[in-house]
Structure 1
């Protein structure tokens, strides 16, 4: 009897999707002349892509293998570009998804002659200009006016893939010649979520940075005069949302909410309401957090590069970044989210070069903001009051502040944390110069405007004077660092300025007295500091002399001109304050002119850092593509 056709047959151990078989046929190394029929391509661009399998197959091939198989790779690229240009669904979407993976893999290989070899793999030298121009024009059209946001995002993803992959080749020139800026901004304008804005904005940052120190980058010129307020607001909101997401990853490793705070109520103010529903996470051990923190921030942090570029070029963008309120009640504003992420970056900057470079970007952004007198005035005012979750994952901790306060106070706190948490013998002098520079700009504004800021100033003085002690202790190591002399001068001048102009910006006489007393306490260190860095014969000897002389003047009063034990140790705070006030009558501070002077931020001074940042952002763009 014949077996029934309904009898269950044994199943194969695994099913291989048809598209994977086509990938294998396309890149079969021993059959580069294998004829790929029209039917092959019809089927290829109708089947759902399998990004994982295609990436795996291409991963087995090196640059020489791809050059050997260039007949097939060229056919794939040309056919895919044709589908993208024709715009018929679903083939155009399949083509874009395929190109995103294919180009990312092809451009990641190490070629002997990168530019010409990549062109050989993709188009052949004869047709390169025509095909690549056609390709970029097609991407431009889809990003600008694709039939729906999904395909527009796919086109952005493909453009991001080729831009990130080809950063060291000539292929990006096709994007600079075409100018995708209008299309990217149109895509942002038509987006209805931060997730849809992230990749166009990320791509813009890479395009703006490409060889910008070697030639006049057209995208940078576009940023200068872009005045579409609604589009800028969408970008700022996306930036804030992305910063919150990046910051939350730090909190997920180690919850650092101060004990005694009401979790749900507090999180609703600082953009972490999503965490309030769950239980407080367990605290990992010190060893467990090291690799977790070292992997942060996430790839989305590359958006800091795009934000820096916009901040450095466009005053309207800066204004919106500072003034845009939160989009939803209970969420943080974009500026608050950025400051919160910056706080976490500062405490973990030492963990990797990547983390350090993104910390620099945050510092550059803050420099530009506090240099704008209109913006810094607003950040000092009542209208800027906000709550910002500052990192408390490493000691020493700053005092807990409950309630809202001016943004400028938060910025000062972040600088204090940056100084306290990155001390090491091989000091990053550039980082400290930038931190001191932000503080100088803030104090300079407060002094000139005679704006009395309520702030825990004693923490700032304690931090700056402790930094004197650190530099003195490790003077021999510090003097081997580039720019150490600039660092020393900036620190001395900053404290001298605070001492000479403190009455103009400190909230009351007690705060001013406290600064004097802390100078007195540090007198011996200041003298050793002066000698260790040979400042007596230095151009800034007058600044260090101000500090030493003030210390000596009050030391003599507090000690009662007696040798041995300092009597101030046994004096009450009121008695010390009385002596400080009495000392004013006989104290003369001859501060030199220009202590409050600063030069505007010039990115050319940080060319080497920004080139490293761009390379890191390129790698994060690739990771962002893989995540999708």
Structure 2
């Protein structure tokens, strides 16, 4: 009996989308030459990026090499459909190529540069194909028919650049300068947050082999002065920084309570803000779950900081615009500092977070080393409110929200010092933080800016660090880092405060407290000088730590003299010490500031820190790969 053609076939247990079937057919490793119809269908169906990415994960580097025909065919056909400029196949081809490049370039090859070229196009065709490829992407980014297709072209460039960063393939983007096209895209967008991808790509390109040849993107950064584009970049950076900050707040919410109406606001409104009561915010206990969630932060979008570093290093106009930009919500630089506060508060949780923390501190150092920028940051008449991290004790003491940028930066440095103390101290992180403190104090002393600030906390943090260094001297000395990179800015900062504190401290009590803490710390200072064999450097007429020790001895001598004549009892109270300190000012010999960095501070020199800069660059590249993958 014949079976009726109307009998229904057995329903399959699951339905597989047609595009997924095509992905499976594409990598069957049977050297099939796919028909034009196959490619037409592939680039007409909505891509399933997740499915395609999983399929590529199952292909090893050896399989790609041994069956390179399929990969080369896909790359060639995708490029052809992009060049055809027909909707929707060109956009689908761009999406497919982004995922494909991320999959291919994520594999570990024995000879990365030659193997990847062989997989994608073949060694004999690479110059022709990749020159054409770079030209097509540049044209699309600059003049694509829509912002959507222009963004997709940027994503392809990001996928290739991050995946092939250690190969010669990225050189095709240096021969074909993408900078004007990327800047034009940023100029044309309406939402500044969309500047993230081109700005991040620019950071990768500006760092590519920059110690081996004259990188053209660095030269482009130096000359760029388009104010409208820079404003969009700054505003987009603020959005990214806020997003990163929110990821930390999502673990522990340390935002202050709503103060839309309060006594403090009312007093501030009528000019009596100094009388307003300030309520401390109690830190929340950190659980194991919190620690685990903090450990994976920040997210990969943090890689945008590489571009910020390069722009700040090369372009004073960008720095000035960043500091002065107001933004639609918060000032971009305020959002930048707030994000840095959260990052550095938790820097010790991973080497990756520490590395980004160092990058932030270096970026701030470069900004502060510009005299014009530094004056703005230290100007007490320019104040801003910044949300600083308060997620773990010890927390910073409550302070008026609107303060100078310098006050907020000093708080960030103090927080970094207090929250990242470990027996195996990260000397690079601490040295970067201490150099920042030193430079701010130099600027304040030069310009006689009397900065309202809780100076006592700064002295306490610096001298507590000194005690920590002495306690774990053997562990610290054993590290392959020059300890004087840390001790020099540490003791120079304290010496500047001793010699020129009257130029920037807002009241005598802050000065008294510094000397009181030095008197207390005299034994530690003497011990640490011996432990680390601290010697003079450069043109210094005296060693900073010697100045501190002699200052402490000066007041110790007065105390002993007072005891000798019976003015003091054997048990000296803190009130007695403070009185002796005030009486001893007149006889104190003010130290010479030559060599302390006030007039001749050391500038950041990238060439002297190649190893560190390259490590930072590699870390950013890995995060961009995570983003596009």
What TM-score do you get using the length of structure 1 for normalisation? 0.91
Q: Deviations over 1:567-597 (max 9, x none)?
A: 5976464x65443221112222333522123
CA deviations 1:492-524 (Å, max 9, x no partner) are 222112101111111122222221122112222
Aligned residues: 605
Which residue number in structure 1 is paired with residue 584 of structure 2? 583
Q: Find the partner of 1:228 among 226, 229, 236.
A: 226
Partner of 2:484: 485
Structure 2 equivalent of residue 277 of structure 1: none
Residue 613 to residue 592, structure 1, CA distance change in 2 (3 Å) = closer
Q: Which moved more, 1:180-189 or 1:113-122?
A: 113-122
CA contact (8 A) 1:19 1:50 kept: yes
Q: Which whole-Å CA distance do the structure 2 matches of 1:368 and 1:438 have between them?
A: 9
Match of 2:258 in 1: 262
Give the SS at the match of 1:253: coil
Alignment partners' CA distance in 2, 1:571 and 1:117? 75
CA contact (8 A) 1:535 1:541 kept: no
The answer for the alignment partner of 1:404 in structure 2 is 402
Counterpart residue number, 2:240: 242
CA distance in 1, matches of 2:60, 2:308: 36
User: TM-score when scaled to structure 2?
Assistant: 0.91
Alignment match, 2:550: 549
| Structure-2 separation of matches of 1:22 and 1:515 | 73
User: In the alignment, is the contact (CA less than 8 A) between 1:77 and 1:99 conserved in 2?
Assistant: yes
Deviating more after overlay: 542-551 vs 409-418: 542-551
Gaps of 5+ in 1: 270-279
How many Å separate the matches in 1 of 2:428 and 2:401?
33
Instruction: Name the structure 1 match of 2:327.
Output: 326
CA shift in 2, pair 1:382/1:453, >3 Å? closer
Closer/same/farther in 2, CA of residues 70 and 379 from structure 1, 3 Å limit? same
Q: Match for residue 510 of structure 1?
A: 509
Aligned twin of 1:119:
117
Distance (whole Å) between structure 2 residues aligned to residue 622 and residue 264 of structure 1:
42
**What aligned pairs does 1:352-501 form with structure 2 within 5 A after superposition?**
352-481=350-479, 482-501=481-500
Alpha-carbon distance in structure 2 between the residues aligned to 1:543 and 1:506: 20
Mapping of 1:18-167 within 5 angstroms?
18-29=18-29, 31-32=30-31, 34-167=32-165
* RMSD of aligned Cα (Å): 2.7
**Quick one: distance in 2 between partners of 1:622 and 1:454?**
44
Q: Is the 8 A contact 2:297 2:353 kept in 1?
A: yes
The answer as to 2:608 corresponding to 1:605 is yes
CA contact (8 A) 2:284 2:391 kept: no
> CA offsets per residue over residues 314-334 of structure 1, 9 Å max, x none?
01110011111131xxx3211
The 3 A distance-change label for structure 1 pair 122 and 443 is: same
Cα separation, 1, equivalents of 2:546 and 2:355: 36
Unpaired segments ≥5 residues, structure 2: 266-280
- Equivalent pair of 1:568/1:576 in contact (CA under 8 Å): no
Q: Secondary structure at the match of 2:428?
A: helix
The CA deviation at 1:43 is 1.1
Matched residue, 1:306: 307
| Alignment partner, residue 621 of structure 2 | 618
Change (3 A) 1:103 1:537: closer
Given that 1:543 and 1:592 are in contact with CA atoms closer than 8 Å, whether structure 2 keeps it comes out as no
The answer to whether the Cα contact below 8 Å between 1:66 and 1:121 also exists between their aligned partners in 2 is: yes
Q: Which of 205, 211, 214 lines up with 1:213 in the alignment?
A: 211
Please say if residues 342 and 388 of structure 2, whose CA atoms lie closer than 8 Å, have aligned partners that are also in contact. Answer: yes
Q: Distance in 1 between matches of 2:569 and 2:219?
A: 64
Per-residue deviation, 1:540: 7.7
Distance 2:534 2:124 in 1: 66
Q: Distance in 2 between matches of 1:132 and 1:466?
A: 57
State how far apart, in whole Å, the 2-side matches of 1:208 and 1:493 are. 34
